[in-house]
Amino acid sequence: MRTLRFLLQKEFKQILRSRSLLISILMMPIIQLTLMPLAANYEVKNIAVAVVDHDHSSYSRKLIDKIFASKYFSGGSYTTSYSAAGKLIEQNKADIILEIPHGFEDNLIRDDHEQIFLAVNAINGTKAGIGSGYLGAIVADFNNDIRQQWVHASRFSDAPAIDIVPANWYNPFMSYFLFMVPGLIVSLLTGLGVFSASLNIVKEKEIGTIEQINVTPIRKYHFILGKLIPYWVLGMTVFTIGMLVSRFVYGIVPLGSIPMLYGFLSVYLVTLLGAGLLISTYSDTQQQAVSLAFFFMLIFNMISGVFTSIDSMPEWGKVMSYFSPMSHFAAVMRMVVLKGSTFHDIMPHFLAIVLLGIVFNTWAILNYRKTT
């Protein structure tokens, strides 16, 4: 026990002395959590529409005004021909072309029927889909307005009308922050944990201090604990900073139990540091460790469900995400913060984390033995 205390003293001294590590631990959560949610926003806004109005009637004007009255569309450019609008798409200055045919108003009044043409730049599939959806809805709305004007009220009411009014549970205002900030905290914490733990152990290998340690009576488990405990404490600190930022910057108050979140986190960190330790046993230099950690972090992030929905992944993606500790913590964070889930609800994730923790740590310790 005494030995462990001295190792911890040494480790904390080194951590507190390393300015770059401290900055990344303290500033990263604050900067990332205040800036990232604003920039990495999945809400589709600012869709640029190029309008080709061949009609120049009061109806076509009305339709265009209606479109730009919406917050989703901006910066309309007006061109006289479809090919000119096509150029704008090529130059990435427009996302959607709206072509209103000649005689739009006349046909609408006379034939009660007219077509308009939409061309969408589908390089960004999400933006294309949502953008044309919005635009379609606006045109439909416009259509209704006209029908109300022209069609006799009594006849109009005959039309079957099922109006859908959705209620958004757990996130009634569909706040992007409420969804994203807890996920970002998980992503941040995971990256920091895996990188710093694996790098630190490999650093001792690279500089050669591990040789000096190995010829002393220090036991291996002392050494490993001496490495993992400081990073466990750091993980807790980063999480706390993240929660404070989300409370005071975004006003997010977890509905569920905060002590339970910390309880889950304390186990999650053991699992995470096990993964870091595992990486360190497979690398001899810090450069190798960074490459390995980067590889795994990228996969963890992609399949974690923080940025994309796990439900829409193919089966193998779902299986992979089960083996990524990050996806479990991300799910638990959102469940507890947004839904106020209880321990009973998060039990499957907790078991998965414990299981992964046992696997990572046992593997790492076995491999650590083998290599030294």
Partner 1 sequence: MDAITLDNITKTYNKGKVLAVDKATFTVAEGEMFGLIGPDGAGKTSIFRVLTTLLLPDGGSGTVAGFDIVDQYKEIRNCIGYMPGKFSLYQDLSVEENLKFFATIFETTIEENYELIKDIYIQIEPFKTRRAGKLSGGMKQKLALCCALIHKPKVLFLDEPTTGVDAVSRVEFWEMLKRLKHQGITILVSTPYMDEAVLCDRIALIQDGKILSIDSSENTMKKYPGRMYAVHSLNMHKLLKDLRSYPDTLSCFTFGDSMHLTFREDNDGNVTRLNEYLNNIGHTNLEIKEIQAGIEDYFIKISEPAHG
Compose the 14-43 pattern: x for residues touching partner 1 by CB under 8 A, - for all others: x--xx-------------------------
71 makes contact with partner 1 (CB under 8 A)? no
Tell me which residue of 202, 136, 174 sits closest to 41, measured CA to CA: 174
Span of 45-53, 55-63, 212-220, 307-315 interacting with partner 1 by CB under 8 A: 212-220
Output the smallest distance, CB 29 to partner 1, in A: 24
Q: Which of 41, 74, 126, 212 binds partner 1 (CB under 8 A)?
A: 212
Q: Which of 13, 56, 110, 247 binds partner 1 (CB under 8 A)?
A: 13
113 makes contact with partner 1 (CB under 8 A)? no
Span of 1-9, 94-102, 103-111, 157-165 interacting with partner 1 by CB under 8 A: 1-9
Sorted by sequence, the CB contacts under 8 Å of residue 366 that are 6+ apart come out as: none
Quick one: 11 or 99, whose CB is closer to partner 1?
Answer: 11
Q: Cα dist. 281→193, 202, 205, 289, 354 in Å?
A: 16, 8, 10, 9, 21
**Residue 85 · residue 134 · CB < 8 Å:** no
Could you tell me the two tokens for 151? 């069609």
Q: Which of 41, 92, 148, 214 binds partner 1 (CB under 8 A)?
A: 214
Span of 102-110, 216-224, 295-303, 313-321 interacting with partner 1 by CB under 8 A: 216-224
Rounded CA-CA distance 290/293 in Å is: 5
The number of angstroms, rounded, from the C-alpha of 254 to the middle of its chain's C-alpha atoms is 18
**Residue 198 · residue 294 · CB < 8 Å:** no
Rounded CA-CA distance 204/226 in Å is: 13
2 makes contact with partner 1 (CB under 8 A)? yes
Report residue 60: phi and psi, to 5°: -65, -40
Span of 5-13, 112-120, 192-200, 278-286 interacting with partner 1 by CB under 8 A: 5-13
Total number of residues binding partner 1 (CB under 8 A)? 19
Quick one: 57 or 280, whose CB is closer to partner 1?
Answer: 280
Span of 8-16, 30-38, 279-287, 304-312 interacting with partner 1 by CB under 8 A: 8-16
**Residue 297 · residue 194 · CB < 8 Å:** yes
Give residues 125-154 in contact with partner 1 (rule: CB under 8 A): none
Sorted by sequence, the CB contacts under 8 Å of residue 5 that are 6+ apart come out as: none
Three-state SS at 284 = coil
Quick one: 41 or 216, whose CB is closer to partner 1?
Answer: 216
Q: Cα dist. 327→22, 190, 314, 321, 323 in Å?
A: 27, 10, 15, 6, 8
Three-state SS at 324 = coil
Quick one: 7 or 292, whose CB is closer to partner 1?
Answer: 7
Give residues 172-211 in contact with partner 1 (rule: CB under 8 A): 207-209, 211
**Residue 281 · residue 371 · CB < 8 Å:** yes
218 makes contact with partner 1 (CB under 8 A)? yes
6 makes contact with partner 1 (CB under 8 A)? yes
260 makes contact with partner 1 (CB under 8 A)? no
215 makes contact with partner 1 (CB under 8 A)? yes
Encoded amino acid at 197, one letter: A
369 makes contact with partner 1 (CB under 8 A)? no
Q: Write out the residues near partner 1 by the rule CB under 8 A.
A: 2-3, 6-7, 10, 13-14, 17-18, 207-209, 211-212, 214-218
